[in-house]
């Protein structure tokens, strides 16, 4: 069995979708949720899904104790699902090519510090891009610069707004993120 740890900061819609996707799969278990925002709705989602959730502050996140704890729990893959903090080197070292993230744009465009959620969609619409999409990538010591695992794109239409684009991006996330996670857990 492959054990996942899902890191969240916000609403947890990707957490919900991933949990639903793997609910009937005995080969994949969401072992825990790590959240850096005590007010995140994702905490309630984890509770409703009966997944243990740990709320951490910056000091705990930067402490090597977190890596030790996850290694002791035999975590196979760390999945960032709307997690907004830069991952510290101790986690990257403890889980080489075992931490993935989903970004709501076609990297390398519209990535890096400050480019998350609606900020990305606003920038894409303002630039009158023809396409946007999602990028699933490995996590390294820089925001949104790890090796790309998967991308899917969607066309922007006349009159596209950041909100309408966000809805399209969410559809791509909910479809593809669980599938890529499944492929990575099977292949490793």
Q: Which residue is catalytic, options 90, 103, 119, 121?
A: 103
Helix or strand run (H / E) with residue 150: strand 148-155
Tokens of 127: 């630039």
- Whose tokens are 């075992």? That residue is 98
Closest C-alpha among 148, 158, 140, 150 to residue 176: 150
- Mapped onto helix, strand or coil, the DSSP state of residue 138 is strand
144's torsion region: left (phi>0), alpha (psi -120 to 50) or beta? left
103 is catalytic: yes
Q: Which residues of 112-128 are buried (b: 16+ CB within 10 A; e: fewer)?
A: eeebbeeebbbbbbeee
Q: Give me the active site residues, please.
A: 103
């Amino acid at each position: 069995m492959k054990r996942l740890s899902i890191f969240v900061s916000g609403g947890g819609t990707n957490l919900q979708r991933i949990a639903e996707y793997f609910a009937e799969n005995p080969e994949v278990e969401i072992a825990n949720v790590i959240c850096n925002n005590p007010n995140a709705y994702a905490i309630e989602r984890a509770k409703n899904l009966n997944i243990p959730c740990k709320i951490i502050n910056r000091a705990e996140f930067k402490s090597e104790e977190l890596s030790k704890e996850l290694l002791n729990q035999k975590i196979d893959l760390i999945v960032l699902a709307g997690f907004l903090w830069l991952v510290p080197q101790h986690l990257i070292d403890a889980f080489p090519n075992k931490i993935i993230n989903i970004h709501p744009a076609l990297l390398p465009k519209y990535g890096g510090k400050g480019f998350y959620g609606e900020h990305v969609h606003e920038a894409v619409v303002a630039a009158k891009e023809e396409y946007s999409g999602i990028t699933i990538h490995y996590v390294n010591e820089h925001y949104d610069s790890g090796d790309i695992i998967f991308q899917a794109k969607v066309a922007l239409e006349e009159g596209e707004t950041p909100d309408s684009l966000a809805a399209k991006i969410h559809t791509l996330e909910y479809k593809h993120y669980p599938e890529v996670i499944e492929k990575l857990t099977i292949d490793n």
